[in-house]
Structure formats: C-alpha cells, structure tokens
Amino acid sequence: MRRKLVVGNWKMHGSHAANAELLAAVIGARPYGCDLAVCVPYPYLTETAASLAGSDVRWGAQDCSAHEQGAYTGEVSAAMLREFGCRYAIVGHSERRAYHAESDLLVAQKAQAALATGITPIVCVGETLAQREAGETDLVVKRQLAAVIHLLAHCAGEIVVAYEPVWAIGTGRTATPEQAQAVHAVLRAQLQAATGHGERMRILYGGSVKADNAATLFAQADIDGGLIGGASLKAADFIAIARAAG
C-alpha cells in the first residue's frame, strides 16, 4: 500500500508574514493521513525549516543545480539544500522546461544531483495541449521519464514522479480522473519495467487540483497524491486537499 504524498509548490510567491501564517495553519491542522511537504522559494528555506521543526511536515526546493559546485552564478546545489535539511526538490517542472529551456537530459542530471545528496527528486513530466490533441501524450511523458530512468539506472526507484499536463497547470482546467489515471498507469508500467518495483513508487498528479476535485483524483488506482500549485497558497484549501489524500 503506497502512502499518499501531497506537496505544495509555492512557485514565486510568499513573504515572511504570509509564510508564517500559512505554515502555522498547516501545522495546526495536523495530524494528516498522508505525507505532506511544501516546496518554497530559496530565500524562505531557513524560515520554513524553522517553522516546521518538530513537525512531520517536510519541505523542499523547487529546483536544484545539476552541478556539484563551481562558477554557476545564480545556481543552488543539492548539497547546499541538503545542509538545511531539504527533503525534496522538484525537477523538470514545465515552467522550467518552457521558460528556462530545460532539456530532458538536464532534468535527469538534476534528479541525479538531488539523489546523490539524499534529496528525493520530484520529477515532473507532462504534455502540452497540442501534444495531447496530436495523440502524443504517452510518447511525450515516456520520453521525459526515460531520460531520468536511463541516467539514474538502479537508483531510478528512489524518485517521486509528478504527472502534470501542461494545459492543466494554473489554468483551472483539470485532467479528468480517467485521463489522469490512464497516464499514471502508463508511467507506472514504465517504472515497473525499468526498476522492478514500480508498484512501490509514488506518482503524483498536478494541474489545478482543488479542494473539490482532489478526492476523486486521489481515489484513482495509480494516483498517489498531488503536486499542488495555486491551492497550496491558501491554508484552508491546502489542508482540505491533504485531508482528501487520507
């Protein structure tokens, strides 16, 4: 039985006051029946770690460098994140693939860098609307995941995967539970074939998950929780989504 995982992706949102209020509410609503984490902007890592200390709510980053160290201005290494106690790093989010031209290989290298320090990468895959309409969804997500599997080899079983259809992110347009489940099943079969223990791995759904659609999505056989953007910024919504997960 896979324990569900719900992860908030704050993106480039937050302030000292807003973060403190949000985290206090999330902690105050414990216990949850799922694993819970928030992925926050780099400057807020320290205060988030302090706010969550002593609780079972984990935290992570929204990216990490593929490099160990060196002349990479603006980059943050996985080892630096780990020093703070970082548990997760989102890699390959579609916003980074689109706005920062991140390739499948670079995403795989970031996942490898994260794992090397003990951080669990949350590897995002997903198709655009044009790709879905062209019937290329399975091809695209399998290609994105294959790059990670190929580089990580026997360590691929350590990742978390997030299926995030690009057309559903921040648009209010959610994949139907059936559409999401179909892609999750494809991804799980790929993970099973590659690692031999795909049945144990967690595959999250992301894309306009809200308090009122979370339960039906999470009820699907291969959906093991969610990566939550906009709704993770509102305590009541994020808490309701976590409750829907268990």
Give residues in contact with ligand PEP (CB under 6 A): 9, 11, 164, 169-170, 206-209, 227-231
Distance (Å, whole) CA 34 – CA 3: 6
The letter for the amino acid at 154 is H
HSE-CB at 203 with a 13 A cutoff on CA atoms is 30
* Options 93, 102, 127, 184, the catalytic residue: 93
Backbone angles phi, psi at 63, to 5 degrees: -175, 170
Residue 127 a catalytic site member: no
Q: Which is nearer to ligand PEP, 167 or 195 (CB)?
A: 167
Tokens 């997903």 belong to residue: 126
* Options 95, 102, 127, 164, the catalytic residue: 164
Q: Which is nearer to ligand PEP, 181 or 195 (CB)?
A: 181
Tell me the closest approach of the beta carbon of residue 54 to ligand PEP, in angstroms: 27
Residue nearest to ligand PEP (CB): 229
Q: Which is nearer to ligand PEP, 137 or 195 (CB)?
A: 137
Q: Which residues contact 188 (CB under 8 A, 6 or more apart)?
A: 198, 199, 201, 203, 222
Tell me the closest approach of the beta carbon of residue 151 to ligand PEP, in angstroms: 23
Q: Which of 13-34 are b and which e, b meaning 16 or more Cβ less than 10 Å from the residue's Cβ?
A: bbeeeebeebbeebeebeebeb
Q: Which is nearer to ligand PEP, 67 or 243 (CB)?
A: 243
Tell me the closest approach of the beta carbon of residue 219 to ligand PEP, in angstroms: 18
> Is 245 within 8 Å of 6 (Cβ atoms)?
yes
Question: Is residue 187 exposed (0-12), middle (13-18) or buried (19+ Cβ within 10 Å)?
Answer: buried
Tell me the closest approach of the beta carbon of residue 196 to ligand PEP, in angstroms: 29
Q: Which is nearer to ligand PEP, 120 or 195 (CB)?
A: 120
Give, as one character, the DSSP assignment of residue 61: E
Tell me the closest approach of the beta carbon of residue 171 to ligand PEP, in angstroms: 7
Phi-psi region of 54 (alpha: psi -120 to 50; beta: other; left: phi over 0): left
HSE-CB at 77 with a 13 A cutoff on CA atoms is 11
Residue 16 a catalytic site member: no
Catalytic residue set? 93, 164
